[in-house]
């Protein structure tokens, strides 16, 4: 029987494993973590609205009903194309006949990797917990600080990047300060905290229609977020940033400005684009390596117009569903799959309390209705009934009470 190895248990990798598991084809799924993470809600962990366990599910639990799917906890550090093996950091070699790479993306600091120490990004649970701890620690330090200038610095939080992640983070941080922390602290006025959203381009949310992006900007400003456009960051240090020659004291910087494909693509020894993505054929096989497949943020897949597909969960999920069934047909019946075709289910971003935007292409909505769509869809997409129920109840409670969730400062932000 053909040996199939999948690297990465994100939206794409999980769907490939399910498709092959349904066909009772032996599969080995490798991931660095023992859980699948629902990344679209990670910003809510970072801003104390949800706990990590609310948006993560054990991989083995998700795949327990597929007897032919095995799970290996480990990190792939090498791929031997000749011997067709992958090497794990812990030493073992795992052989394959077909290899699926679905390892997602990481942060890109545009050549300034030294900024990472002072400006954490948001891709993992560890990132979210670190950001949450630093936000809360800044307010704790401001509470006992006697110097008003230092207090102002500590209560200034800069979010760099005006895409969906940056918009959602800035709005959520502003709500945390205004509605929750303002009730918890007595010496400082947490609701006067400065939340900066810095975007190097001419407007926020470049992937959305301009009318929706303008609406988002207005809503953010009503929440108290200071939006600065054409504001390229020139330097990030421990307690300050420099924007257009201006030095700004900050208590925390959060990076939401750029992503790059994971480094696994480079293990293939083939050219990648500037974001580290590998080019694939219409069936998602890597060009020149027809026994290797790539999907999600790692793969350069284009739409009918030739434009690259965005790094969205729905893209990776559809690619995974397609590839799982396509490989099953190929292995079982020798059939060649039809080319992959992406069906856009709409693009969305939440701005704050009962305010969101939704772009379906043929239909665009904003405000409370868009927020309801966003909430219903995200609850539905969560893995496991218990997560859906818990998150729905928590959102309802916090909507009514303006309370936040796990406001915990963990040692070292971990």
pLDDT, block means (10 residues), the chain with 414 residues: 93 97 96 94 90 90 96 96 95 94 94 94 94 95 95 97 95 92 91 96 94 96 96 95 95 94 93 93 94 96 88 94 95 86 90 88 90 81 70 66 67 51
> Among 274, 300, 333, where does a domain finish?
333
- Let me know whether 154 and 190 are in one domain: yes
CA distance 156 to 190: 10
- Please tell me whether residue 280 adopts helix, strand or coil conformation: strand
Instruction: Tell me the β-bridge partners of 79.
Output: 86
- Let me know whether 175 and 312 are in one domain: no
pLDDT of 284-315, one tens digit each? Answer: 999 999 999 999 999 999 988 888 999 989 99
Tell me whether residue 266 is in a domain.
yes
Q: What is the reported pLDDT for 411?
A: 60
Contacts within 8 Å (CB) and 24+ apart, 237-243? 237/118, 238/117, 238/118, 239/153, 241/158, 241/160, 243/198
Number of domains in the chain: 2
CA distance 261 to 108: 9
CA distance 171 to 162: 11
The pairing of strands 4-7 and 98-101 is parallel
Tell me whether residue 13 is in a domain.
yes
The contacts of residue 278 (CB under 8 Å, 6+ apart) are 101, 261, 265, 268, 270, 272, 286, 287, 294, 298, 299, 300
Q: What is the reported pLDDT for 372?
A: 85
String of DSSP letters for 178-210 = IIIIHHH-SSS-GGG-EEEEE-SSSSS-TTS-H
Residue 101 has which token pair? Answer: 């790479």
Q: What is the reported pLDDT for 150?
A: 97
Tell me whether residue 343 is in a domain.
no
Strand order in the sheet with 93-95: 76-80, 85-88, 93-95
Q: What values do phi and psi take at 25, rounded to 5?
A: -100, 130
Q: What is the reported pLDDT for 174?
A: 95
Task: Kindly list the distances between the CA atom of residue 63 and the CA atoms of 9, 13, 186, 409, in Å, as whole numbers in the listed order.
Answer: 11, 12, 49, 33
From 168, 175, 199, 319, the catalytic residue: 168
Task: Residue 379: give its domain's CATH number.
Answer: 3.50.50.100
Domain carrying residue 103: 4-32+74-107+259-333
Task: Residue 283: give its domain's CATH number.
Answer: 3.50.50.60
CA distance 79 to 77: 7
> Among 333, 362, 384, where does a domain finish?
333
Q: What is the reported pLDDT for 249?
A: 97
Q: What is the reported pLDDT for 414?
A: 43
Whether residue 319 contacts residue 12, with contact meaning beta carbons closer than 8 Å, is answered with yes
Q: What is the reported pLDDT for 413?
A: 47
Tell me whether residue 41 is in a domain.
no
pLDDT of 28-66, one tens digit each? Answer: 999 999 999 999 999 999 998 888 888 899 999 999 999
Whether residue 71 contacts residue 59, with contact meaning beta carbons closer than 8 Å, is answered with yes
Q: What is the reported pLDDT for 253?
A: 97
Residue 234 has which token pair? Answer: 């020139």
Q: What is the reported pLDDT for 398?
A: 62
Q: What is the reported pLDDT for 384?
A: 66
Q: What is the reported pLDDT for 352?
A: 82
The contacts of residue 57 (CB under 8 Å, 6+ apart) are 35, 36, 38, 383, 384, 387
- Let me know whether 127 and 235 are in one domain: yes
> Among 333, 361, 385, where does a domain finish?
333
How does 48-71 read in b/e, with b if 16+ C-beta sit within 10 Å? bbbbbebbbbebeebbeebebbbb
Number of other CB atoms surrounding residue 153 within 10 Å: 20
CA angle 364, 161, 342 (to 5 degrees): 45
Tell me whether residue 58 is in a domain.
no
Active site residue 338: no
Give the length of the chain: 414
Tell me whether residue 308 is in a domain.
yes
- Let me know whether 235 and 290 are in one domain: no
Task: Kindly list the distances between the CA atom of residue 359 and the CA atoms of 205, 286, 349, 365, 376, in Å, as whole numbers in the listed order.
Answer: 12, 31, 9, 7, 16
- Let me know whether 308 and 238 are in one domain: no
Tell me whether residue 282 is in a domain.
yes
């Amino acid at each position: 029987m053909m040996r199939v190895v999948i690297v990465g248990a994100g939206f794409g990798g999980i769907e490939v494993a399910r498709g092959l598991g349904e066909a009772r084809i032996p599969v080995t799924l490798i991931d660095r973590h023992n859980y699948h993470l629902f990344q679209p809600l990670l910003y809510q962990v970072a801003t104390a609205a949800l706990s990590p366990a609310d948006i993560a599910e054990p991989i083995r639990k998700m795949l327990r009903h597929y007897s032919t799917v095995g799970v290996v906890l480990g990190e792939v550090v090498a791929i031997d194309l000749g011997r067709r093996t992958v090497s794990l950091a812990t030493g073992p070699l795992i052989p394959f006949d077909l290899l699926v790479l679905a390892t997602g993306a990481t942060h890109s600091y545009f050549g300034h990797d030294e900024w990472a120490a002072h400006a954490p990004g948001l891709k993992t649970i560890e990132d979210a917990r670190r950001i949450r701890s630093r936000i809360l620690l800044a307010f704790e330090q401001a509470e006992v600080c006697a110097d008003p200038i230092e207090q102002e610095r500590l209560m200034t939080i800069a979010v760099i990047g005006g895409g969906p992640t940056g918009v959602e983070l800035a709005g959520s941080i502003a709500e945390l300060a205004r509605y929750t922390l303002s009730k918890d602290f007595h010496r400082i006025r947490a609701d006067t905290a400065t939340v900066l959203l810095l975007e190097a381009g001419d407007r926020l949310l470049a992937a959305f229609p301009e009318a929706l992006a303008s609406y988002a900007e207005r809503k953010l400003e009503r929440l108290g977020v200071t939006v600065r456009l054409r504001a390229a960051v020139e330097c990030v240090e421990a307690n300050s940033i420099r924007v257009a020659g201006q030095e700004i004291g900050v208590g925390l910087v959060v990076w939401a400005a750029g992503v790059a494909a994971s480094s696994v693509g480079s293990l293939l020894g083939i050219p990648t684009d500037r974001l580290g993505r590998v080019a694939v054929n219409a069936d998602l096989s890597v060009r020149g390596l027809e026994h290797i497949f790539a999907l999600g943020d790692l793969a350069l897949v284009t739409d009918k117009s030739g434009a690259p597909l965005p790094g969205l969960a729905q893209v990776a999920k559809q690619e995974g569903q397609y590839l799982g069934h396509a490989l099953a047909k190929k292995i079982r019946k020798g059939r060649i799959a039809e080319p992959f075709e992406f069906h856009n289910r709409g693009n969305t971003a939440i701005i704050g309390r009962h305010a969101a935007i939704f772009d379906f292409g043929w239909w665009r909505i904003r405000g409370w209705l868009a927020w309801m769509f966003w909430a219903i869809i995200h609850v539905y997409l969560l893995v496991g009934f218990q997560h859906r129920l818990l998150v729905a109840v928590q959102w309802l409670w916090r909507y009514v009470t303006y309370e936040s969730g796990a406001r915990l400062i963990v040692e070292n932000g971990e």
